């Protein structure tokens, strides 16, 4: 097969619709029925003494005002712990509405069903809640202190996890040099353009609950809703038509509002909508990133790492709905592209009275890479060896794959790197940024500014299981319909899956129409996260297309009285190889695939010329065959495939303002075979932008009482496009041996090493250590005055 | 993030507007709504009545005379930037307007609204202060003129009475021997400045300073006006130099810290911006 579409920078088919306001987001669905408004806790830790809703019920347009004690059936249970883990000894999840206790500012307490959100908020002002506030546990230091978030979780420790390879103590004892570092990363969050949203309709005639939901995982939302409402799965349909960004927050499910809208639609027999506003997204969705790392590294005179001992604290907020996925990723991805014969990691995941922490794009890898890369830079500085050279000396080499880290990855399977070429990645990015000539450029810095350069490498486990499926169906009109169960939140799935199917099946790209994230079209799926969609659904739709092709050739072989081996599909026509003379359009094969009693179209009439009488002793659809030119394909990877990359950045720090200006930002990225370079580059641009956000602009500013003081885009400094430099990109294509398409994931890559690279560049410019992120001009100004980065 | 219920009025004249303002309890003037509406959406403000003056033709005028520029209360920031006359007669106003938020906000937000809002982080409050401009008001009991130094009383607090409406703002133009400059630093393009300074320097026939004033934004409850006459009159700015000017300004400024910024850094930055704007006036 010669790829016609695979590998080409085809423009995204979704964009025309999305940029002209014709997207179909959840808030666009219907404005009739009821709107759900939540009252959220103003206290980080408090007992609820009483709730008086009587005045709110008198507001015109209010249907119902519910508290925990009003909830029926299974709605009184805590929300599910989605991913248990043996190390998670004290998991806690929140209730749909707070049950006596609130544990973070923003936790839902009261649900108001009203004609619209305005009325809902008017009613909310009339609900009187009495609280008995307790001591708020905010930040890692407080978590290690005497006050508890959950009375029955001693030390606030949700999980205490250790893993090791080799013998770290002996390695450190025998190392020529040992250095210690303490590194800190602050909280941030994904900040999708669209917040969480759900619109539920109950069709009492067909007894169907139809839910449009802004989710990354519609199939699982469906099962969760059916389960909690105790109704058959078959009565629940969930679809995510357009989702305005997810970044991990929308993997978490079900949210309290998902259940309440669904329940309300049945209870009040009308559509119910919840659309999260920006303040709610800040205080009642998910955050990520906050960790503190203590590192001890032993190395030889050449800078080779002999032993690495990492002990970190992960602030998981008030609840752990997604288990320990984030810190487990930090632990296993910390080694990156380096050989660590002796590596020990321990983490404690601790509760605080803050918004829950769940994976956000990059999923706890930025911290891991920050630790590893800062450590390498520190070794280089200690030994006075070029930072790139220390990396070279520690890389896993291209001939060492598959490379077994000796650890267990987040999917519960061994962390074995499938393929990669880390030395070449580094050399490429060094040559892009002209690393060797930097000393000359440093001396040419703008007057009054200090110039620095930094580099950071990473490995990212992507494309993990358990599975995805794809369905491909050729319509008698010639269009090819493709569906897969995972949802799209901006990735470009409609384009890349069409590219894959068009090539596998032999049809024009324009004839392929893709639907994602609709349980009416595809019932089984896992979801869009962990940079897995292209690998899993991509290989699944490819398999489905191959099956359809096989079936089409078999049917056409009968009709043409030809040997199937002599047939091919070119430009949507099944034909004898090398000749277009004798062939049948795929649309007609689709008609033949479905033995018809009724002729209803030109295509059906045309197809009858091939139908013949057949063997009258055989049934029209033979045993083992199905009518229709369609097939379902599945792909279940044995384990994750590991993408990799290297970023290099050159900065200038302004002497007067301490502002960091990025002069050049270079990325070399290896996600195996590229399906669509334009889309991969778009993913990298967005990822780098979020990385720069986390490095220089964003943090969650909690006060000591647990109030998030910057819960708006005025005070939470998500950068604008004006703050993001041009990103220069080059690719390496080291194929994955684990899947037929040879691909690896690309969705999160861009964000992962940015903090590490920028810290390195600023450190290089200033000459003092950078041990935390983000780095604000105000802090940099003070660090310049004292010449160090004080651990905070 | 939805506002409380309110009544909306769309008067046909300034007379009608001030009558409403006088008659109604708890009424607010709505012009561009770029500050008021977000406050209402957060329910930090919940006026019972909004009186919309954005459509009043009598408030939409820009008058440019050799001595002063007068801008009506419904004139948007974008309209100021579209006025070539303002660009040539009072380029400082253009320079400052370009620093006001983003284009979509400038398209709706009004210059007089910025002044009435009395935000010490606003560029317009600083420009009015350094130029010693004034606003004209209307009310049922008659209009008055308020000088810039009397208008701003605290953060988001002006000396406007509840029944009073700004109808226009007047900015004196600069003489032929005066030079001005605006410098600010914002964390993101178009954000409120962390610190900023706008300077106006007048020179005598020997190119020596005969007057130097600077107004600072984001460093106090109101725009902070500092006279550098004692330091600079009779000298050249470059001869006095960075260190002396920086130290003088630092000693005069006493800003607060916030989520992003320590008080110390803000003082430093304001003094740097003060120096930068003065240096640009040489």
| CATH architecture of the region B57-172 | 2-Layer Sandwich (3.30)
Q: What is the pLDDT of residue A641?
A: 97
Mean pLDDT of A104-121: 98
Taking the CA atoms of residue B272, residue B274, residue B276 and residue B280 in that order, the dihedral angle to the nearest 10 degrees is: -170
Q: Is A277 on the interface with B (CB under 8 A)?
A: yes
Q: Is A697 on the interface with B (CB under 8 A)?
A: yes
Q: What is the pLDDT of residue A791?
A: 43
Query: DSSP for A359-393?
Result: --TTTTHHHHHHHHHHHHHHHHHHHT--HHHHHHH
The 10s digit of each residue's pLDDT in A471-526 is 999 999 999 999 999 999 999 999 999 999 999 999 999 999 999 999 999 999 99
Q: What is the pLDDT of residue A370?
A: 98
pLDDT value at A300 more than 90: yes
Q: Please answer yes or no on whether B187 and A701 come within 8 Å at the CB atom.
A: no
Mean pLDDT of chain A: 95
Name residues of chain B where pLDDT drops below 70: none
DSSP class of residue A676 equals -
Q: What is the pLDDT of residue B4?
A: 96
Give the gap in angstroms from C-alpha A274 to the nearest C-alpha of chain B. 13
pLDDT value at A609 more than 60: no
Among B198, B221, B200, B201, which Cα is nearest to B209's?
B201
Q: What percent of chain A has pLDDT over 70?
A: 97
The 10s digit of each residue's pLDDT in B218-227 is 999 999 999 9
pLDDT value at A149 more than 70: yes
Give the gap in angstroms from C-alpha B171 to the nearest C-alpha of chain A. 29
Mean pLDDT of A315-342: 97
d(CA A256, CA A277): 15
d(CA A103, CA A214): 26
Determine the 3-state secondary structure of A594 from DSSP: coil
pLDDT value at A721 more than 80: yes
Q: What is the pLDDT of residue A145?
A: 96
Burial class (CB in 10 A: 0-12, 13-18, 19+), A733: middle
Domain ranges, ordered by start, for chain B:
7-52, 57-172, 178-279
Q: Please answer yes or no on whether B185 and A278 come within 8 Å at the CB atom.
A: no
Mean pLDDT of A617-625: 84
Which residues is B172 bridged to in the sheet? B68
Closest CB to B189 among A715, A723, A777: A723
d(CA A702, CA A687): 25
Q: What is the pLDDT of residue B113?
A: 97
Residues in chain A with CB shorter than 8 Å from the CB of B269 are 656-657
Q: What is the pLDDT of residue A580?
A: 79
- The domains found in chain A, sorted by start residue, are 31-134+196-275 (3.90.1170.50), 291-396+407-464+638-786 (3.30.365.10), 465-635 (3.30.365.10)
B7-52 CATH: 3.30.43.10
* Long-range contacts, B32-38 (Cβ 8 Å, 24+): B32/B76, B32/B108, B32/B109, B32/B110, B32/B113, B33/B108, B34/B101, B34/B105, B34/B108, B34/B109, B34/B113, B35/B109, B35/B113, B35/B114, B35/B117, B35/B119, B36/B117, B37/B3
Residues 611-670 of A with CB under 8 A from B: 656-659
Q: What is the pLDDT of residue A602?
A: 72
B178-279 CATH: 3.30.390.50
Q: Is A121 on the interface with B (CB under 8 A)?
A: yes
Q: Other CB atoms closer than 10 Å to residue A286's CB: what's the count? A: 25
Give the gap in angstroms from C-alpha A592 to the nearest C-alpha of chain B. 57
Closest CB to A657 among B5, B188, B272: B272
Global pTM value: 0.96
Q: What is the pLDDT of residue A597?
A: 66
Taking the alpha carbons at both ends of chain A, their separation in whole angstroms is 58
Q: Please answer yes or no on whether A122 and B5 come within 8 Å at the CB atom.
A: yes
Phi-psi bin for A787: left (phi > 0), alpha (psi -120 to 50), beta? Answer: left
The 10s digit of each residue's pLDDT in B34-52 is 999 999 999 999 999 999 9
Give the gap in angstroms from C-alpha A277 to the nearest C-alpha of chain B. 7
Q: What DSSP element (H or E) covers A64?
A: strand A62-66
Give the gap in angstroms from C-alpha A369 to the nearest C-alpha of chain B. 25
Mean pLDDT of A438-462: 96
Closest CB to B188 among A118, A121, A723: A723
- The token pair at A429 is 């990015």
Kindly provide the ipTM of the predicted complex, given to two decimals: 0.95
Closest CB to A782 among B190, B265, B269: B265
DSSP class of residue A224 equals H
The 10s digit of each residue's pLDDT in A572-608 is 999 999 887 789 999 999 999 988 767 777 766 666 6
Mean pLDDT of A24-35: 94
Residues in chain B with CB shorter than 8 Å from the CB of A657 are 185, 269, 272
Per-residue confidence at A1, pLDDT binned at 50, 70, 90? low
Radius of gyration of chain A (CA): 28
Q: What is the pLDDT of residue A790?
A: 53
Residues in chain A with CB shorter than 8 Å from the CB of B261 are 776, 778
Domain B7-52 identical in fold to domain B178-279: no
pLDDT value at A792 more than 80: no
């Amino acid at each position: 097969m010669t790829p016609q579409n695979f590998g080409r920078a085809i423009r995204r088919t979704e964009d025309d619709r999305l940029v002209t306001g014709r997207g179909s987001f959840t808030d666009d669905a219907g404005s009739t029925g009821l709107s759900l408004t939540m009252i959220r806790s103003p206290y980080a830790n408090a007992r609820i003494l009483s709730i008086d809703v009587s005045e709110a019920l008198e507001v015109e347009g209010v249907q119902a005002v519910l508290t925990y004690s009003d909830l029926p059936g299974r709605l009184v249970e805590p929300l599910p712990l989605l991913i248990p883990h043996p190390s998670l000894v004290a998991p806690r999840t929140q209730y749909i509405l707070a049950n006596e206790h609130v544990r973070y500012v923003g936790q839902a307490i009261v649900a108001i069903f009203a004609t619209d959100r305005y009325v809902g908020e008017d009613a909310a002002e009339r609900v009187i809640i009495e609280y008995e506030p307790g001591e708020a546990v905010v930040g890692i230091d407080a978590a290690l202190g005497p006050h508890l978030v959950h009375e029955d979780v001693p030390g606030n420790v949700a999980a205490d996890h250790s893993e090791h390879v080799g013998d770290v103590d002996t390695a450190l004892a025998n190392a020529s040099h040992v250095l210690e570092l303490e590194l800190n990363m602050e909280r941030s969050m994904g900040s999708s353009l669209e917040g969480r949203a759900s619109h539920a309709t109950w069709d009492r005639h067909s007894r169907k609950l139809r839910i449009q939901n802004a989710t990354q995982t519609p199939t699982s939302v469906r099962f969760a809703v059916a389960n909690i409402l105790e109704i058959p799965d078959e009565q629940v349909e969930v679809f995510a038509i357009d989702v305005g960004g997810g970044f991990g927050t929308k993997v978490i499910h079900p949210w309290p509002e998902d259940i309440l809208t669904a329940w309300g639609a049945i209870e009040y027999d009308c559509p119910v909508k919840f659309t999260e506003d920006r303040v709610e997204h800040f205080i009642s969705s998910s955050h990520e990133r906050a960790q503190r790392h203590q590192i001890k590294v032993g190395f030889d005179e050449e800078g080779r790492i002999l032993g690495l001992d990492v002990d970190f604290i992960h602030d998981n907020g008030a609840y752990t709905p997604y288990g320990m996925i984030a810190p487990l990723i930090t632990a296993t991805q910390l080694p990156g592209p380096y050989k660590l014969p002796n590596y020990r990691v321990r983490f404690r995941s601790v509760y605080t009275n803050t918004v829950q922490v769940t994976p956000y794009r990059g999923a706890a890898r930025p911290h891991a890479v920050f630790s590893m890369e800062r450590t390498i830079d520190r070794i280089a500085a200690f030994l006075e060896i070029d930072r790139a050279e220390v990396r070279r000396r520690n890389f896993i080499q291209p001939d060492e794959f598959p490379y077994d880290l000796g650890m267990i990855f987040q999917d519960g399977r061994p962390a074995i790197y499938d393929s990669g070429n880390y030395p070449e990645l580094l050399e490429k990015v060094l040559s892009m940024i002209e690393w060797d000539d930097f000393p000359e450029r440093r001396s040419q810095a703008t007057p009054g500014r200090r110039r620095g350069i930094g580099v950071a490498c990473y490995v990212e486990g992507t494309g993990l299981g358990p599975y995805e499926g794809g369905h491909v169906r050729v319509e008698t009109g010639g269009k090819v319909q493709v569906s897969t169960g995972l949802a799209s939140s901006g990735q470009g799935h409609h384009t890349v899956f069409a590219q894959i199917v068009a090539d596998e099946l032999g049809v024009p790209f324009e004839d392929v129409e893709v639907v994602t994230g609709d349980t009416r079209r595809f019932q089984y799926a896992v979801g869009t996260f962990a940079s897995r969609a292209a690998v899993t659904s991509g290989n699944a739709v490819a398999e489905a297309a191959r099956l359809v092709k096989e079936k089409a050739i078999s049917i056409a072989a009968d009709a043409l009285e030809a040997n199937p081996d002599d047939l091919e599909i070119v430009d949507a026509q099944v034909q004898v190889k090398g000749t277009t003379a004798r062939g049948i359009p795929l649309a007609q094969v689709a008609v033949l695939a479905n033995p018809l009693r009724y002729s209803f179209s030109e295509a059906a009439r045309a197809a009858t010329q091939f139908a013949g009488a057949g063997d009258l002793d055989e049934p029209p659809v033979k045993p083992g065959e199905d009518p229709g030119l369609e097939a379902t394909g599945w792909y279940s990877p044995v384990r994750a495939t590991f993408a990799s990359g290297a970023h290099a950045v050159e900065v200038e720090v302004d002497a007067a303002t301490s502002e960091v200006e990025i002069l050049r930002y270079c990325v070399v990225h290896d996600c195996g075979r590229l399906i669509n370079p334009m889309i991969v580059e778009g993913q990298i641009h967005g990822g780098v932008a979020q990385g720069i956000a986390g490095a220089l602009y964003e943090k969650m500013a909690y006060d000591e009482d647990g109030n998030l003081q910057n819960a708006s885009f005025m005070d939470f400094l998500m950068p604008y496009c004006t703050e993001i430099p041009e990103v220069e990109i080059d690719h390496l294509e080291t194929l994955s041996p684990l899947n037929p398409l040879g691909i690896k994931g690309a969705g999160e890559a861009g964000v992962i090493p940015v903090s590490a690279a920028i810290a390195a560049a600023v450190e290089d410019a200033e000459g003092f250590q950078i041990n935390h992120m983000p780095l604000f001009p105000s802090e940099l100004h003070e660090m310049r005055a004292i010449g160090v980065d004080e651990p905070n | 993030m939805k506002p409380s219920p309110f009544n909306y009025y769309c008067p046909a004249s300034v007379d009608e507007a001030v009558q409403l303002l006088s008659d109604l309890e708890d009424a607010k003037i709505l012009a561009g709504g770029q500050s008021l509406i977000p406050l209402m959406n957060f329910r930090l403000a919940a006026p019972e009545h909004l009186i919309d003056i954005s459509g009043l033709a009598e408030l939409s005028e820009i008058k440019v005379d050799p001595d002063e520029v007068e801008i009506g209360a419904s004139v948007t920031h974008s309209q100021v930037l579209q006025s070539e006359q303002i660009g040539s007669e009072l380029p400082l106003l253009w320079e400052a307007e370009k620093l006001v938020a983003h284009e979509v906000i400038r398209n709706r937000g009004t210059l007089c609204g910025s002044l009435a809002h009395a935000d010490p982080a606003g560029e317009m409050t600083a420009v009015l202060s350094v130029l010693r401009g004034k606003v004209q008001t209307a009310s049922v009991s008659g209009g008055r003129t308020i000088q810039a130094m009397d208008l701003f009383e605290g953060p988001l607090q002006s000396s406007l009475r509840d029944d009073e409406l700004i109808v226009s703002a007047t900015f004196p133009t600069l003489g032929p021997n005066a030079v001005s400059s605006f410098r600010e630093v914002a964390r993101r393009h178009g954000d409120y400045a962390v610190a900023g300074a706008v300077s106006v320097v007048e020179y005598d026939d020997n190119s020596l300073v005969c007057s130097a004033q600077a107004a600072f934004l984001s460093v106090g409850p109101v725009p902070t006006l500092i006279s550098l006459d004692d330091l600079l009159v009779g000298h050249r700015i470059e001869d006095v130099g960075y260190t002396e000017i920086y130290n003088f300004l630092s000693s005069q400024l006493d800003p607060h810290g916030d989520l992003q910024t320590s008080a110390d850094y803000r003082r430093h930055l304001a003094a740097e911006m003060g120096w930068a704007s003065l240096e640009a006036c040489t």
